[in-house]
């Protein structure tokens, strides 16, 4: 079962928690990897980074009210879907129309069950999806 959220979270990146470095896909920069996050007052330690991708937000979100975490297009890794030939220009002109998504497996403690969490990073970190 999967639930959607738009909750701001405090995320620690780069430094391993309790001497544990999460398992990661090849080619991911360790300095940018979330290693722990605080959600609803509980510290969740990232055990595995399952995936990482960049997600384009609808262009109309940036023109009126800026990007939001409750975007209905927020999902799994999607194809780039950018305009032909203008992707690099759009990224530099409108960086707020993209966000980083990290799918991680984390636990709030040794006795707690692990879950799969989608964390996004644009202007701030948010938890947008939880799968049990």
Evaluate if residue 67 carries a pLDDT over 60: no
Domain span at residue 41?
2-70+94-131
Average model confidence (pLDDT) across the chain: 77
Q: Does residue 88 belong to any structural domain of this protein?
A: no
Q: Does residue 53 belong to any structural domain of this protein?
A: yes
Cα 85 to Cα 63: distance, rounded to the nearest angstrom? 22
Cα 129 to Cα 69: distance, rounded to the nearest angstrom? 10
Collapsing DSSP to helix, strand or coil, 87 comes out as helix
Give the count of domains, the chain.
Answer: 1
Each residue of 3-34: pLDDT tens digit? 999 999 999 998 765 656 677 776 777 788 89
Residue with tokens 């992707």: 87
Each residue of 80-113: pLDDT tens digit? 444 444 444 444 556 678 899 999 999 998 788 8
Q: Does residue 41 belong to any structural domain of this protein?
A: yes
Q: Does residue 109 belong to any structural domain of this protein?
A: yes
Q: Does residue 75 belong to any structural domain of this protein?
A: no
């Amino acid at each position: 079962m999967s639930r959607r959220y738009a909750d701001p979270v405090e995320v620690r990146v780069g430094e391993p928690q309790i001497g544990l470095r999460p398992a990661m896909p090849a080619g991911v920069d360790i300095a940018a990897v979330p290693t722990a996050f605080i959600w609803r007052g509980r510290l969740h330690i990232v055990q595995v980074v399952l995936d990482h991708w960049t997600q384009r937000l609808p262009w109309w979100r940036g023109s009126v009210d800026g990007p939001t975490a409750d975007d209905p297009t927020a999902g799994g890794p999607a194809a780039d879907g950018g305009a032909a030939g203008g992707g690099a220009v759009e990224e530099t002109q409108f960086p707020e129309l993209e966000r980083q998504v990290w799918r991680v497996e984390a636990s709030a403690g040794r006795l707690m069950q692990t879950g799969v969490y989608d964390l996004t990073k644009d202007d701030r970190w948010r938890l947008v999806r939880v799968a049990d």
